[in-house]
Amino acid sequence: MPFPPLVEPADGLSIDEVRRYSRHLIIPDVGMTGQKRLKNAKVLVIGAGGLGSPALLYLAAAGVGTIGIAEFDEVDESNLQRQVIHGQSDVGKAKALSAKESIAETNPYVEVVLHEQRLDNDNVMDVFTGYDLIVDGTDNFATRYMVNDAAFFLGIPYVWGSIYRFDGQASVFAPSLSEEAPCYRCLYPEPPPPGMVPSCAEGGVLGVLCASIGAIQGTEAIKLLTGIGEPLVGRLMIYDALEMEYRKLRVRKDPNCALCGENPTVTGLIDYETFCGAVSEEAADAAAGATISVTSLEHMLKEREEGSRDFVLVDVREPNEFEINRIPGSVLIPKGEFLNGNALEQLPSVDSGTQVVLHCKSGVRSAEALAVLKGAGYDDAVHVGGGVVAWVNQIDPSQPAY
């Protein structure tokens, strides 16, 4: 259903702005009034990464008057495959600053406000206050739930997007606009179990997929700001890039929702890291006292080479990751083999006296695999904190990072 525009029109457009936005002005649904609403709008984009890049560029090009950028990270070379707001010369630069500079080249009439701190419970309400709309380009569940809850408490609609490999999703959560409008918790009441859904850093993402979903987010933002069309309120857009297929599903408000339901139990910001959990409780227990550093591993590998130590080093990443970089002397047994029990057949027996050392990219998946080993009686098994990322950064920078 259509909704009233979120923003009142600005007083007017300059001659230069009329020239710039002429292709908008001749669309009857937008026209002069709609463009003046965009000029008067204040939109916060969370993240200047895969989704934030196209959303920021198109919102700026469209003439959104004030754009906030909430981003604390720096540009890395691995970002450039999809984060098109940054370029090679921006590597090492703060993403927020890089994005601001790109926006200035796209549209000098846009005011950019930088929020270069990590969003958390202490600052999120202050950062959100004053914006008409939020575009959520975050890539982890803890932040998504925090964004949802803070936006709900402040009565600010927000446009959500998600990407993974070849699949994308987008929706608009706006309980403040309608009593029937769901929030993010209505769609996902609980986060997935820790380790169940890999991040883009672990599972990858097709770069151009970001443009498709980010453009949808930008489109929804413009529709909400100007009051045109039917936004994705109460609808989930699902995009399959491999099949080139778009589907829409109805998302209904959950009367039992912990946040926006009839008897809410979430009445303030909560501990989102604990709520989502980076690793399962079993993995955290297994890793306690059984985590070694990459410098310790380097020493152990030298001892094994000299014949004074015996252990097997197991990489639990996926085969395509193993092709990118690896710790010398490791063997590949993906985490899934541990979860289905097949890995135990490929390892020394519990009573062999050979220690098992696990690693992955960052330490999350290896902790999950470690929990399986501990449960199978491998009491002296350990895993490498920081994984191959720490190995490349601290021990062997000649290898590529990803």
Helix (H, G, I), strand (E, B) or coil at 225: helix
Specify the length of the chain in residues: 402
Residue type, 156: I
Question: Is 183 in the active site?
Answer: no
Pull the structure tokens for residue 253: 């408000």
Cα–Cα nearest to 226, from 35, 12, 25, 1: 35
Task: Report residue 290: phi and psi, to 5°.
Answer: -130, 35
Of the candidates 271, 278, 265, the one whose C-alpha atom is nearest the C-alpha of residue 185 is 265
Cβ pair 36, 1 in contact under 8 A: no
- Is 257 a residue of the active site? no
3-class secondary structure, 294? helix
The sign of the torsion formed by the CA atoms of 340, 344, 350, 353 equals: negative
Q: What tokens were used for 367?
A: 């902790």
The edge-to-edge listing of strands for the beta sheet with 245-250 is 111-115, 66-70, 42-46, 133-136, 158-164, 167-173, 235-240, 245-250
Give the three-class secondary structure for 395: coil
CB atoms < 10 A from the CB of 77, how many? Answer: 13
**Nearest of 378, 381, 400 to residue 389 by alpha carbon:** 400
Query: What is the Cα–Cα distance from 231 to 219, expressed in whole angstroms?
Result: 9
Tell me which residue of 303, 298, 319 sits closest to 384, measured CA to CA: 298
Radius of gyration of the chain (CA): 24
Catalytic residue (one of 183, 200, 210, 276): 200
How many Cβ atoms from other residues are within 10 Å of residue 299's Cβ? 13
- Among the listed residues 186, 210, 260, 360, the single catalytic one is 360
Give the CA distances from residue 8 to residues 3, 33, 341, in Å, rounded to whole numbers and listed in that order. Answer: 14, 9, 60
User: What's the CA gap between 20 and 14, in Å, rounded?
Assistant: 10
Q: Which residues are catalytic?
A: 200, 360
